[in-house]
Structure 1
Amino acid sequence: DGEEGRVKQTTAQRLYTYVQSDYKLKVENQRLFVYGDYEDDRFNGYDYRSSIAGGWSQLVWRNEISDFRFSVGPGYSLAKLESGEKAENIHGFIVRASAEYHYIWPTGAKLRQFVSTEAGEDNIKSRTETSLSANLFESLALKLSFIMQHNSNPTDSNTALNTETSVAVVYRFF
């Protein structure tokens, strides 16, 4: 069988998860937020990276076809740098800012634009996600996404900008 001479090589393996919770204040459209994330990427030079932040969030507008919100606040970042056999912990205070825009066409297609930045003493980590989803059936949709991640101070063997493109089928339960 022709498989014997082939070398199988992993070129990407990444786990990224985040959560944000907003607490509504008495003033309309203003909130306090708490945010946390965790990233484990085999090819970015870090064993893991994580951050937590809290601060002020505001829904600037919401109508039938669009909405826009942003948040900003201080936080703390922790990472474990893999450098050969020696691992080094990197940590420090950050300022996190994010903005999110949604638009819904009359056909039901949806656009989402999300941008976030975490600025620390040694690095500025930015992430942007643009996605477009269209309903195939009542609770089934097709989603196209383009994600860019940028680090102002990447590890030695890595590029400053990483991109990811995906196509997904989304099923909505509610």
Structure 2
Amino acid sequence: MKKQALASLIALSLSTPAFAQDDEVKPFTMEGELGFISTTGNTDTTSINAGITANQEFESWSNDYNIEGLYRQETVEGDNGEDVDVTSAQKFFASAQGNYKLENPDNRLFVFTSYEDDRFSNFNYQATVAAGWNQKLIQNKNHKLEYSIGPGYAFVETQEGESQNSMIVRASTIYSWKISDTAKFTQTASTEVGDENTKSRAESALTATISGNLSMRLSFKLDHNSQVAEDVEKLDTETAVSLVYNFF
């Protein structure tokens, strides 16, 4: 049934014209994000989240890059009654996707790879490679929407050193809405379905321009794994307010 549904989705996308409209596209864009929170008093914590996203547009290729990092430190009372600084979150994620444009540039073939190292998750690391079909459904002045779907392979190692490598099917979507000249909403979502685990990520973000290339972003992220140890939560969430600088 899954194979039939996947074949039907691909056939429908091939037979349906993309509702894309040409808009000015920059050959290279890159922006950096940085968020910092420090609290003192009854609770002492320090949180830092940072990231870089970039896009390259060539005649035959469209490439996307993403790097994210999260670090949190808390002060807690130790066994001897003295305050001790402990790390409560330490996460790194990086991904890259290349889209090869076909005769209709809205229809493309993609190659994707990612790597995640989350110290406090169920996994020592999670890496993915995938390839398949990518299509731009909408691209105009205010709205952009595209999706990708295809098979791949997940390289996974648990904190106990157990290998959980498996074949997967990866699907993702990216939506962007330019609300005004100074405000933008973006929504990304992806899922990697495998025999050992289903990994899903999503982010909703609202970005508002402060001045020139500097903006403020409010974001909410979800990170879910279907198969984890009994003492590990399946769902991680992250809410952040960050400064964003548009380099190009």
What TM-score do the two structures reach when normalised by structure 1? 0.93
From 82, 97, 119, the counterpart of 1:5: 82
Q: What amino acid maps onto 2:204 in structure 1?
A: T
**Aligned equivalent of 1:101:** 175
SS at match of 2:134: strand
Q: Which amino acid aligns with 1:29?
A: D
Residue of structure 2 in register with 1:27 after alignment: 104
Q: Which residue of 1 aligns with 2:138?
A: 61
Q: Are positions 1:38 and 2:112 aligned together?
A: no
Paired letter, 1:131? A
Preserved CA contact (<8 Å) 2:164 2:196: no
Give the aligned partner of residue 134 of structure 1.
Answer: 208
**Partner-residue secondary structure (3-state), 1:60:** strand
Kept in 1, the 8 Å contact 2:129–2:152? The answer is yes
Q: Runs (4+) of structure 1 moved beyond 3 Å? A: none
Mean alpha-carbon deviation: is it higher for 156-165 or for 88-97? 156-165
Q: Per-residue CA shift, 1:135-170, capped at 9, x if unaligned?
A: 111111111111001111122321111101112111
- Structure-2 separation of matches of 1:81 and 1:160: 14
Tell me, in whole angstroms, the C-alpha distance in 2 between the residues paired with 1:90 and 1:151. Answer: 13
Are 2:93 and 1:16 equivalent residues in the alignment? Answer: yes
> What is the CA-CA distance between 1:173 and the residue it aligns to?
1.6
Q: Which ranges of structure 1 fall in alignment gaps of 5 or more residues? A: none
Higher helix share: 2
Q: What are the ranges of 5 or more consecutive residues in structure 2 without an aligned counterpart?
A: 1-74, 76-80
Counterpart pick for 1:48 among 117, 125, 132: 125
% identical aligned pairs: 39
1:58 partner amino acid:
Q
